[in-house]
Amino acid sequence: MHTIVSHIFHVEDKYVSYYESQHSTTGSIYLWIQSHYGYVNIMIGLFIAFWAKLFFKKYGFNLFEIVILLCFILGMTMLIYTVFAIIEGVTHTSVMVQASIVAMLYSVWAIGQFFDPYKIPSYLKALAIYILGYVSFTVAIFIIGLSIDLILMKR
């Protein structure tokens, strides 16, 4: 659904934008990310799951259970983005910043609800793992891109 709506209203490049003056592997990866955001959400979910497993260790959930939770949550965020893409397409008003905020707030709320809905630290941890998940995904992309470029330069 999200892919169709984004394509119809031409809002694909507004979620993740990456522009560079010189061609690099990292740039190519970010161009792929820009056009395949649904798949990327699953990958980001793996990074968030890793941090959730560390931060919420005492709850006894295994990594696969957390990944399933995050697949549902990130799927819902894609629906949030879809609604905002329709709003942007119809009104021609940029609302992707607001969509990102709503999606992040929903994700933090849902993760906090899953682990311990009655404690504020649960939501603070959820915010931390959400941010750490995105940051570690971004760092991993840069490391992979840079490594490939360095390997290709040595040839």
C-alpha separations of 88 from 79, 85, 104, 111 in Å: 14, 5, 19, 28
CA pair distance 7, 62, nearest whole angstrom:
37
Per residue in 94-132, pLDDT (tens digit) is: 998 999 999 999 999 999 999 999 999 999 999 999 999
The alpha-helical segments, DSSP class H, found in 10-62 are 25-35, 37-55
Question: Nearest-CA neighbor of 43 among 149, 137, 147?
Answer: 137
Q: pLDDT for 48-105, tens place per residue?
A: 999 999 999 999 999 999 999 999 999 999 999 999 999 998 998 999 899 999 999 9
Instruction: Kindly state the tokens that stand for 136.
Output: 């570690």
pLDDT at 113: 96
Provide the pLDDT confidence category of residue 1 given band limits of 50, 70 and 90: low
